[in-house]
Amino acid sequence: MHTAGFVRGRLVRLTGFKSSAYTEGALFTADKPLAASEKGVEMSRSDPFPSHQEFVTQTFAAGALDAKTKRLIALGASLAAGCEPCIRRSLAVARELGATPQELRETLAIAMVVGASKVKLLGRDCLADPSSEPGPPEPPAATPSAPTGGA
């Protein structure tokens, strides 16, 4: 990190995931000082979208759903979306919040149902007319217009 210009490197948590050859099982964060040309920029280097972080914090706070349930939902959505960083983060936080192996398996099963259903429905549509080529939809057929109420 230091050779790339980063300073104040900090261990965030042990993850159990191999994120690189040098940080196996650990998540690090670091700051990168502003260049002289950027000294007047107000935006924080650590979070260029502070309103997004506020949104995330508020969304994952316990409410009608407890924090663990929200993280399990996020894990399932992340799996279905194929967002690997989201999967790693949601899995780590769900485990920290006490998610059991059975809860994780059930979350995975739900994500698998969503993914399989998507493929099944898309496949059904593709196979409905195997001779059709992908392309823009055909315009609707012209229908005779109904007579208007004139004399």
**Cα distance between residue 42 and residue 48, in whole Å:** 10
Mean pLDDT, the chain, integer: 77
Domain membership of residue 20 (yes or no) is yes
Domain membership of residue 110 (yes or no) is yes
Number of domains within the chain: 2
Domain membership of residue 41 (yes or no) is no
Domain that holds residue 4: 1-31
**Is the overall model pTM greater than 0.85, yes or no?**
no
**Cα distance between residue 20 and residue 57, in whole Å:** 27
Per-residue pLDDT of 7-65, as tens digits, reads: 667 766 666 655 555 555 665 566 666 454 444 444 445 666 778 888 888 999 999 99
Number of C-beta neighbours around residue 53 at 10 A? 13
Whether the CB-CB separation of 34 and 41 falls below 8 Å is answered with yes
Whether the CB-CB separation of 107 and 90 falls below 8 Å is answered with no
Structure tokens belonging to residue 108: 């995975």
